[in-house]
Chain A
Amino acid sequence: MNFGKAITIGKFTFIEIYKSKIMINILLSGIVLALLCYIVSEFSFGNPSKIALDVGLGFLSLTTKAIAIFFGATLLKNELESRTIYLILSNPVSRVEFLVGKVLGLSGILLLNTILLSIFTTLFYYYWDGVWNSLIAWSILQTFLESVLILLIVLFFSLITNINLAIIFSISIYVSGYAIRGALSLPDVKSNVALTKVVTLISYVIPNFSLFDIKNFVLYKQELDSMYLLGTLGYSITFSLIFLVVSSLVLSSKDLN
């Protein structure tokens, strides 16, 4: 694995997506976010800075996930269907380097979106006299890592099915992953041993997305155990690597017709 090649592919993937007018969409999102923060804060009673932060982090989470899902589903599929992949793989580049490069390129776009919308959010937060808390930065980082994990999941599904199904499967995995731990505490599940075992087994296979949602701690408790934060960081990186390795194996064994 030559990281230099992957970085070159990542760089030109970033340039290609950047020039496809996504920046206009991100800036429009920023303006919508600013308007939302302003309107919601104006109509709130009491603590407008918290409202601005709540809306901002929520909007950031939504847009990064949307970019990860919709751009991720077409990231490799378009390369295969339009055969641009032939022009790249006929050079001294392995399929794994190509895949890692494409992921790096789109992750760069996700990072750009995260940074820009975070700037908008924190500006409004400070405008309404908000006080800095390191959990805000953790929440932003968790949102970014969560979106990279979603990107890798949708990328994996795009390699084994079509674009529409890849999107549906990825959203299903996200919703299930978010709800699965909660499902374990439901009385109906608790009372059924077999069902508990099945749900527990699934909870190990599907990433637990509820771990990444620390917004309530940011807004209300304003503190969180650092072991929890580091653990979640390791958890997201581990699951991302698993999906990256599995996708690499699928792409390496695939006939590129």
Chain B
Amino acid sequence: MFSFHEVSKEFKTDFWEKPFRALDKVSFNLSGGNIVGFLGANGAGKTTGIKILLGFIKPTSGKIEYDPALGKNRSEIFKNIGYLPERPYFYADLTGREFINYIGQLNDLTKLDIKKNGDFWAKSLKIDFALDRKLRFYSKGMLQRLGFVSALVADPMLLILDEPLSGLDPLGRKEFKDIMNQLSSEGKTIFFSSHILSDVEEVSREVVILESGKLVHSGNLLDLVKGKTTDEYELVLDSRESEKIKELGSLQEQGEFCRLVFPQSDFSRVLEQVSKENINIESLKKVTPTLEDIIYRIGV
């Protein structure tokens, strides 16, 4: 869908100060049809990357290339892109319906298509009841939903969502994730930034990770998880038994249970010892890191 080629961005904070580098030679390629999580801590450069991608700011060096499938010129490309900014702000005196009409008309949709698509997505995102209200009376979550409707109304091939799940309650987050999965199954590409890693893990197949403006990882999420998985096992036992096994590995007390982590090479020895001591096992599984564990291990 698009590629970043050695993209850097520097901001001058003060005339005398050295420029601050928000992005440092970031290169990655985003293939079509996936949900791609754009990760990084606050200030990692995610929003700067999205602003460059959409042409709001110019890179200091490097370039972005769009897939020819999106279109030949800016107008064609942007007809195929839907964008939801972080904390979307709207025209307070327009109604939700007027705003959807506005976006639809900018995308050259017919009145019929605007009504059909707008009503469909407004109903799917449960904001249809408020479309005739002025936007100044919308709550934060309602604005987020309307922003998503406006990003979808022109049926784009690529969706760029900047922190789409922030400001939503758990139910709203689930609804957004369900719709993202539905759109992905229809062949749409979704590129979304988030710092809620569990949400990214739930819906993304690929991730792009930034740390202090530099690319840390770009690629398949499963590969990342497999690559960071160590050959360790985790045994959960009653904490009263901890004394009998504390020499066998790394032991952590967790309330009434204790958690023993040990390498695969000690597997037989540990099980033998547990069996010999007649200890009741609560669970035994291979240690698989969550995305959160991996990101923190990478250092983001």
Shortest A171–chain B CB gap in Å is: 27
CB of A87 within 8 A of CB of B147, answer yes
CB of A255 within 8 A of CB of B93, answer no
Shortest B257–chain A CB gap in Å is: 48
Q: Is there a chain B Cβ closer than 8 Å to A192's Cβ?
A: no
CB of A89 within 8 A of CB of B94, answer no
A-B contact pairs, 18 of them (CB 8 A): A12-B98, A15-B94, A15-B98, A19-B134, A83-B85, A83-B89, A86-B54, A86-B83, A87-B83, A87-B88, A90-B83, A91-B78, A92-B76, A92-B106, A256-B51, A257-B11, A257-B56, A257-B57
Shortest A76–chain B CB gap in Å is: 14
> Chain A residues with Cβ under 8 A from B54's Cβ?
86, 89-90
Q: Is there a chain A Cβ closer than 8 Å to B74's Cβ?
A: yes
Cβ-closest 9 pairs across A and B: A90-B83, A19-B93, A255-B57, A92-B78, A92-B75, A91-B106, A256-B56, A82-B89, A12-B102
Q: Is there a chain A Cβ closer than 8 Å to B79's Cβ?
A: yes
Q: How far is the CA of A83 from the CA of B107 in the complex (A)?
A: 20
Of all chain B residues, the one with the shortest Cβ separation from A98 is B106
Please pick, from A2, A20, A83, the residue contacting B93 in the complex, using a CB distance under 8 A. A20
On whether A94 and B103 interact (CB within 8 A), knowing A84-B90, A84-B91, A89-B54, the answer reads no
Shortest B293–chain A CB gap in Å is: 34
Contact with A along B56-90 (1 / 0, CB 8 A): 11100000000000000011111101110101111
Shortest A132–chain B CB gap in Å is: 38
CB of B85 within 8 A of CB of A8, answer no
Q: How far is the CA of A92 from the CA of B77 in the complex (A)?
A: 8
Shortest A3–chain B CB gap in Å is: 13
Other than the given A83-B89, A92-B79, A93-B106, 9 more pairs (CB < 8 A) read: A8-B106, A16-B91, A16-B93, A83-B88, A86-B83, A90-B82, A90-B83, A90-B160, A92-B77
Shortest A227–chain B CB gap in Å is: 42
> Chain A residues with Cβ under 8 A from B134's Cβ?
19
Q: How far is the CA of A255 from the CA of B55 in the complex (A)?
A: 9
Q: Is there a chain A Cβ closer than 8 Å to B34's Cβ?
A: no
Q: Is there a chain B Cβ closer than 8 Å to A88's Cβ?
A: yes
Q: How far is the CA of A12 from the CA of B124 in the complex (A)?
A: 26
> Chain B residues with Cβ under 8 A from A83's Cβ?
85, 87-89
Q: Which of A31-63 contact B (CB under 8 A)?
A: none
Q: How far is the CA of A16 from the CA of B75 in the complex (A)?
A: 25
Q: Is there a chain A Cβ closer than 8 Å to B194's Cβ?
A: no
| Count of chain B residues near A, Cβ 8 A | 36
Q: How far is the CA of A68 from the CA of B108 in the complex (A)?
A: 30
> Chain B residues with Cβ under 8 A from A77's Cβ?
none
Of all chain A residues, the one with the shortest Cβ separation from B102 is A12
Q: Name, among A5, A84, A91, the residue most crowded by chain B CB atoms within 10 Å (CB to CB).
A: A91
Q: How far is the CA of A15 from the CA of B95 in the complex (A)?
A: 10
> Chain B residues with Cβ under 8 A from A82's Cβ?
89
Q: How far is the CA of A82 from the CA of B143 in the complex (A)?
A: 14
Main secondary structure of the interface of B (DSSP, over half): mixed
Shortest A100–chain B CB gap in Å is: 14
Q: How far is the CA of A43 from the CA of B81 in the complex (A)?
A: 65
> Chain B residues with Cβ under 8 A from A20's Cβ?
93
> Chain A residues with Cβ under 8 A from B105's Cβ?
8
Shortest B189–chain A CB gap in Å is: 15
Shortest B223–chain A CB gap in Å is: 31
Q: Which of A1-39 contact B (CB under 8 A)?
A: 2, 5, 8-9, 12, 15-16, 19-20
Q: Is there a chain A Cβ closer than 8 Å to B150's Cβ?
A: yes
CB of A16 within 8 A of CB of B94, answer yes
Q: How far is the CA of A202 from the CA of B76 in the complex (A)?
A: 45
> Chain A residues with Cβ under 8 A from B81's Cβ?
90
> Chain A residues with Cβ under 8 A from B79's Cβ?
91-92
Please pick, from B56, B91, B107, the residue contacting A91 in the complex, using a CB distance under 8 A. B107
CB of B106 within 8 A of CB of A255, answer no
CB of B83 within 8 A of CB of A94, answer no
On whether A94 and B74 interact (CB within 8 A), knowing A86-B56, A87-B85, the answer reads yes
Q: How far is the CA of A49 from the CA of B11 in the complex (A)?
A: 61
CB of B103 within 8 A of CB of A87, answer yes
Shortest A238–chain B CB gap in Å is: 30
> Chain A residues with Cβ under 8 A from B154's Cβ?
91
> Chain A residues with Cβ under 8 A from B88's Cβ?
83, 87
Of all chain B residues, the one with the shortest Cβ separation from A85 is B56
Q: How far is the CA of A257 from the CA of B20 in the complex (A)?
A: 14
Shortest A250–chain B CB gap in Å is: 14
Q: How far is the CA of A91 from the CA of B108 in the complex (A)?
A: 10
Of all chain B residues, the one with the shortest Cβ separation from A17 is B93
Of all chain A residues, the one with the shortest Cβ separation from B76 is A92
Please pick, from B11, B57, B74, B160, the residue contacting A256 in the complex, using a CB distance under 8 A. B57
> Chain B residues with Cβ under 8 A from A19's Cβ?
93-94, 134
> Chain A residues with Cβ under 8 A from B51's Cβ?
256-257
